[in-house]
Structure 1
Amino acid sequence: MSISARAGRRAVAGAMGAGAIAGAMLFAALPSALADDPAQNPPNCSAADLSGVSSGVAASTSAYLFTHPDVNYFFTSLEGLPRDEVRTKVAEYMDANPGPKADLTGIRQPLVDLKNRCGAAPAPAIP
C-alpha cells in the first residue's frame, strides 16, 4: 500500500512536531543558560553544541517513529490539539506503553546530559 505525498508530509510534520514538543517541554530553561557569558559556561555548552545535539536527537526520533508506525501514528494524531490536551494524552500513552517510553527517553538522553552539564534547571520527569 502506498501513502499519498500529503499523508507522508503530515506524518513527517507530526513526528517533527512531537520532537519539538518534547524538546520544548524538557529544555525550556537551557537557552538562558547558554546566553550567559561564554567564559563562565562549562565547556561544550554553546548554542552550536545545543544545535548539534538537538539535531542528532531529532534525527534519531524521526528514525524511531518511522520504524514504529504505531508510535508514529499516535504522535501524528495529536496534530492540532491544544497543548494541555497533548500533554495529557502523551502522559496516558507513555504510562500505557513502557517500551516506547523507555526508547524515547533513551533517545533524548543526550539532550538531558547536555542540559545537566550546562547547568540548566532539571528536566521534568517523563509522564
Structure 2
Amino acid sequence: MPNVTTRHLSMTLLAGVAAVAALCAAPLANATGDPAVDPPHCTTADLQGVQAGVDASASAYLFTHPDLNGFMSTLGDLSREQVATRVDGYMATHPQEDAEMNGIRQPLVDMKNRCGTAVSP
C-alpha cells in the first residue's frame, strides 16, 4: 500500500475514533481520584487501551473489506463535515458494514457511557 494511501487511511480512522475519544476525555480530565465519585477504569490509560483495541479492530476490518477501505481512503482531503456526509451516505447503502463498524466502535461508546458522559447523536 503506498504511503499516501496509508496516511489517508490512518487519518480517516483517527478522525472517527478521535470524535468519540474527545467525548470520553472530558470526564477523564476532571477525575478526582475518589472511587465514590469517579467510576473505576475511567483513566486516560484505560481510554488509550480501549482506543488502541478499536483502532486495531478497525484496521483489520478495513483490510478485509476492500470496498469500504477504498471508499475511506478517498476522504483524506475533505473537511469533517464532508467526511461525515459521505460516510453517512455510504453506510446508508451498506447497512451490514455500518452495523459491523458500529460494533467495532462499541467499546468506546460503552466506556463513554460508563464514565459519565452523555451519548451524543
Q: What is the TM-score when the length of structure 2 is the normalising length?
A: 0.89
* Number of aligned residue pairs: 118
Amino acid at match of 1:48: A
Paired residues of 1:11 and 1:76 also in contact (CA < 8 A): yes
Among all aligned residue pairs of Structure 1 and Structure 2, give the percentage whose two residues are the same amino acid: 44
Runs of 5+ consecutive residues of structure 1 not aligned to the other structure: none
1:95 aligns with 2:89: no
Deviation at 1:86, TM superposition (A): 0.8
Runs of 5+ consecutive residues of structure 2 not aligned to the other structure: none
Paired residues of 2:28 and 2:43 also in contact (CA < 8 A): yes
> CA RMSD for the aligned pairs?
1.4
Q: What is the TM-score when the length of structure 1 is the normalising length?
A: 0.85
Deviations 1:71-99 (A, max 9, x none): 00001100111221111101101111101
In the alignment, the residues of structure 1 paired with residue 90 and residue 20 of structure 2 have an alpha-carbon distance, to the nearest angstrom, of 18
1:123 aligns with 2:117: no
User: Which of 67, 71, 74 is the matching residue for 2:68?
Assistant: 71
Off by >4 Å, runs of 4+ in structure 1: none
1:38 aligns with 2:37: no
User: Which of 72, 79, 83 is the matching residue for 2:80?
Assistant: 83
